[in-house]
């Protein structure tokens, strides 16, 4: 379909406007019939509100056809059951076409516009070639060819949307479903067939509805062009990618959804997370066992002294029991830290203080021998909060910190610094004074199963899992390295932006 201008006289229907633009037409708005003379660009059709036709007689219609340069003229009718007698007579006696508001509402008006525009062009050709029978035959062949081309284009579009191995849904700016393929229906468990032109809120599942509503609000407010969200739906995990659709003037006209079933990928990722957790836990156990031995030795010594003592001094007994209680609490803290780290939890995104997450991470490594001669320097900017899954953030920092300690061979300075990167993100820098990263392997650092450690000492999954967690959380990770100065930078979404989006911002 060639792009053409269509004049709308006294019509201000946003749904009709968006449908015309979506199909390649360019609406031109005028308030009355006389204003058509002021249009200085070619146009291929005029659509006039029924109120502007009124009680027009034959001479008025002739003048209208003259002003419109002979292009097809349509009357936009609000309610076919409330047409005045004068307008009925005019419609019967004239060649005016009709477009009804209910056709616009259900998305069927465009097919009528296409037919009128195409028929008008063909009629013009017919008038030109009526001089001979041979010309009429040629014209008929032209018509047949165009019809075949249109049919081929429809079949091609249907085959493309039907062959895509992703769910495809297009929703216009008026919240109506403009297109949906069969794969999307299967993923979303939609059994209805005739849903084009229907409000998406009446068709899509509730979980999907809430996300689409938020996306459409954002595109109407000129927010970002692309957004991705993973949603648990029935027994599957669906990844929904949304894209803002624009007209030729970059104004939003709708949203396109690509829906994929990523259940198997997510399950594989979860298994990798668990594998890496077990590997990291193995490196922690030796230090924890050593740390437990000290309080247990104190408890054992106090108990043996009590058993050998014949006469109990009250003050001595109180101090002994207090010492035993202190060491038991110390053991309990160590064991609880280990259990918290190894416990499998569903992803639970919420708002956290970044300083608390980092301090919790450090408690997991302070018992390891490799940290005995490592000096930890904290440079926390106050009031920084992040949004995401706390346990996964701990896993990220734990891997990076342990790698830093390995690089320093247990002796050096580990500096942890937090800083705000605009209101939307927080950056954590973890710096070590170790040997640095060999330039020859910098490109492979985040690759799965790549490790520089001796066989049996590492899975090669640590930094690849870190990279995946950070990416899934909407952040970034990168590093700078030279001998005695290596920094990993972890950029995470700020919790303040999430608070702002929820419209319940509180000062912290």
508 residues of the chain, pLDDT tens digit each? 456 889 998 998 888 888 888 888 899 999 888 788 888 888 888 899 888 876 556 666 777 777 667 788 888 998 888 888 777 877 777 778 888 888 888 878 888 888 887 777 666 655 655 555 666 677 777 788 887 877 777 677 667 766 777 888 888 888 888 888 888 888 888 877 777 788 888 888 888 888 888 888 777 666 566 777 788 887 788 888 888 888 777 788 888 888 888 887 777 766 666 665 555 555 555 555 655 665 676 677 667 766 666 666 677 677 777 767 776 776 766 666 555 555 555 567 889 999 999 988 887 777 666 777 889 999 999 889 999 888 788 888 988 888 888 888 878 999 999 998 877 899 999 999 988 888 877 777 776 655 655 544 444 456 777 888 888 888 999 989 888 899 999 999 998 776 655 544 333 3
Tokens of 378: 């904290």
Q: Quick one: 464 and 367 in the same domain?
A: yes
Q: Are 347 and 389 in contact (CB under 8 A)?
A: yes
Same domain, residue pair 182 and 67 = no
What is the residue range of 87's domain?
5-128
In 3-state terms the chain splits into helix, strand, coil percentages (rounded to 5) of 50, 25, 25
Paired sense of beta strands 411-421 and 373-379, if any: parallel
Q: Rounded distance, CA 212 to CA 255, Å?
A: 9
Residue 81 within any structural domain of the chain: yes
Residues 170 and 123 in one domain: no
CA 440 to chain centre: 35
Q: Is residue 151 situated within a structural domain?
A: no
Sequence-distant (6+) residues with CB within 8 A of 295 are 327, 328, 330, 331
Within its chain, how far is the Cα of 452 from the centroid?
Answer: 36
Q: Is residue 30 domain-shared with residue 83, that is, in the same domain?
A: yes
What pLDDT shows up at residue 330?
A: 65
C-alpha span between 59 and 65 (Å, rounded): 10
What pLDDT was estimated at residue 464?
73
* 3-class secondary-structure state, position 468: helix
Measure the CA–CA gap between 118 and 44, rounded to whole angstroms. Answer: 10
The CATH code of the domain that includes 249 is 3.30.450.20
CB 389 within 8 A of CB 349: yes
Which CATH number do you get for residue 319?
3.30.565.10
Measure the CA–CA gap between 25 and 113, rounded to whole angstroms. Answer: 10
Residue 187 domain-assigned (yes or no): yes
State how many domains the chain has: 3
Three-class DSSP category at 243: strand
In contact, 67 and 56? CB cutoff 8 Å: no
**Plot region of 414 (φ>0 → left; ψ -120 to 50 → alpha; else → beta):** beta
Do 249 and 103 belong together in one domain?
Answer: no
Neighbouring CB atoms inside 10 A of 305's CB total: 11
Q: What are the start-end ranges of the E strands in 334-475?
A: 349-353, 373-379, 385-389, 411-421, 425-432
Residue 179 covered by a domain: yes
What confidence score (pLDDT) does residue 312 get?
Answer: 64
Our CA angle for 47, 53, 57, nearest 5°, is 130
Tokens of 425: 């993100």
Whether the Cβ atoms of residue 21 and residue 247 lie closer than 8 Å to each other? yes
* Bridge partners (DSSP) listed for residue 244: 255
The C-alpha atoms of residue 29 and residue 18 are separated, in whole angstroms, by 13
- Coil vs helix vs strand at 416: strand
Nearest to 293 by CA among 319, 342, 320, 330: 330
331 and 473 share one domain = yes
Is residue 380 included in any domain, yes or no?
yes
C-alpha Rg value of the chain to the nearest Å: 36
Residues 397, 352 within the same domain? yes
Spatial separation of the C-alpha atoms in residues 411 and 317, rounded to whole Å: 41
Surface-to-core class of residue 185, CB atoms within 10 Å of its CB (0-12 exposed, 13-18 middle, 19+ buried): middle
**Half-sphere exposure (Cβ direction) of 397: Cα atoms closer than 13 Å:** 29
What's the confidence (pLDDT) of residue 24? Answer: 84
Same domain, 335 and 228: no
Query: What pLDDT is stored for residue 53 in this prediction?
Result: 79
Nearest to residue 429, comparing CAs of 485, 373, 391, 484? Answer: 485
DSSP bridge partners of 28? 7
Q: Which residues on neighbouring strands pair with residue 488, listed in sequence order?
A: 430, 479
Q: Is residue 431 part of a domain?
A: yes
Q: Which long-range contacts (CB under 8 A, 24 or more apart) does 203-211 make?
A: 203/177, 204/169, 205/233, 207/231, 207/232, 207/233, 208/233, 208/238, 208/240, 211/240
Question: Per the domain annotation, does 90 fall within a domain?
Answer: yes
Strand, coil or helix: 226: strand
Residues 247 and 291 in one domain: no
Which pLDDT belongs to residue 432? 93
Query: Whose CA is closest to 197, among 107, 101, 100?
Result: 107
Q: Does 348 lie in the same domain as 295?
A: yes
* Whole-number pLDDT of residue 416: 95
Beta bridge partners of 481: 486
Would you say how long the chain is, in residues?
A: 508
Q: Give residues with Cβ within 8 angstroms of 114, minimum separation 6.
A: 1, 23
Is there a single domain that holds both residue 254 and residue 285?
A: no
Provide the H-helix boundaries in 448-502: 462-472, 495-501
Domain shared by 256 and 110, yes or no: no
- Other Cβ atoms closer than 10 A to 433: 19
Instruction: Please report whether residue 135 resides in a domain.
Output: no
């Amino acid at each position: 379909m060639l792009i053409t201008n269509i004049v709308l006289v006294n019509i201000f229907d946003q749904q009709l406007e968006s449908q015309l633009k979506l199909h390649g037409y360019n609406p031109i708005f005028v308030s009355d019939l006389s204003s058509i003379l002021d249009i200085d660009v070619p146009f291929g059709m005029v659509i006039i509100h029924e109120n502007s036709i009124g009680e027009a007689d034959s001479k008025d219609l002739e003048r209208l056809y003259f002003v419109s340069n002979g292009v097809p003229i349509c009357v936009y009718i609000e309610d076919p059951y409330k047409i005045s007698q004068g307008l009925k007579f005019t419609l019967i006696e004239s060649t005016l076409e009709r477009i009804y508001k209910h056709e616009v509402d259900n998305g069927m008006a465009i097919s009528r516009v296409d037919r009128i525009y195409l028929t008008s062009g063909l009629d013009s050709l017919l008038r030109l070639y009526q001089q001979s029978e041979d010309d009429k035959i040629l014209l008929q062949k032209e018509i047949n060819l165009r019809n075949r081309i249109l049919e081929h284009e429809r079949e091609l579009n249907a085959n493309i949307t039907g062959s895509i191995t992703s769910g495809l849904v297009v929703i216009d700016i008026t919240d109506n479903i403009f297109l949906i393929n069969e794969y999307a229906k299967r993923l979303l468990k939609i059994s209805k067939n005739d849903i084009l032109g229907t409000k998406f809120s009446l068709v899509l599942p509730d979980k999907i509805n809430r996300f689409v509503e938020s996306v459409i609000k954002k595109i109407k407010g000129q927010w970002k062009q692309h957004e991705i969200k993973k949603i648990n739906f029935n027994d599957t995990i669906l990844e929904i990618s949304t894209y803002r659709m624009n007209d030729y003037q970059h104004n939003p006209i709708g949203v396109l959804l690509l829906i994929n079933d990523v259940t198997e990928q997510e399950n594989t990722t979860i298994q990798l997370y668990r594998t890496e957790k077990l590997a990291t836990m193995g490196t922690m156990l030796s230090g924890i066992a050593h740390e437990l031995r000290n309080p247990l030795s104190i408890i054992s010594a106090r108990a043996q002294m009590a058993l050998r003592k014949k006469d109990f001094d009250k003050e001595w007994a109180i101090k002994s029991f207090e010492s035993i209680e202190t060491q038991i609490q110390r053991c309990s803290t160590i064991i609880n830290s280990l259990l918290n780290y190894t416990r499998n939890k569903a992803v639970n995104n919420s708002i956290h203080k970044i300083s608390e997450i980092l301090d919790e991470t450090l408690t997991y490594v302070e018992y390891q021998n490799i940290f005995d001669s490592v000096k930890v320097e904290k440079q926390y900017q106050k009031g920084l909060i992040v949004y995401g899954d706390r346990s996964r953030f701990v896993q990220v920092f734990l891997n990076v910190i342990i790698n830093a300690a390995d690089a320093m061979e247990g002796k050096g300075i580990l500096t942890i610094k937090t800083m705000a990167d605009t209101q939307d993100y927080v950056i954590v820098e973890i710096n070590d004074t170790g040997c640095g990263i060999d330039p020859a392997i910098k490109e492979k650092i985040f690759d799965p199963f790549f490790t520089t450690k001796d066989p049996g000492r590492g899975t090669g999954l640590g930094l690849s899992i870190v990279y995946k967690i950070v990416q899934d959380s909407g952040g970034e990770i990168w590093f700078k390295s030279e001998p005695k100065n290596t920094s990993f930078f972890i950029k995470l979404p700020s919790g303040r932006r999430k608070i702002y989006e929820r419209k319940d911002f509180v000062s912290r």
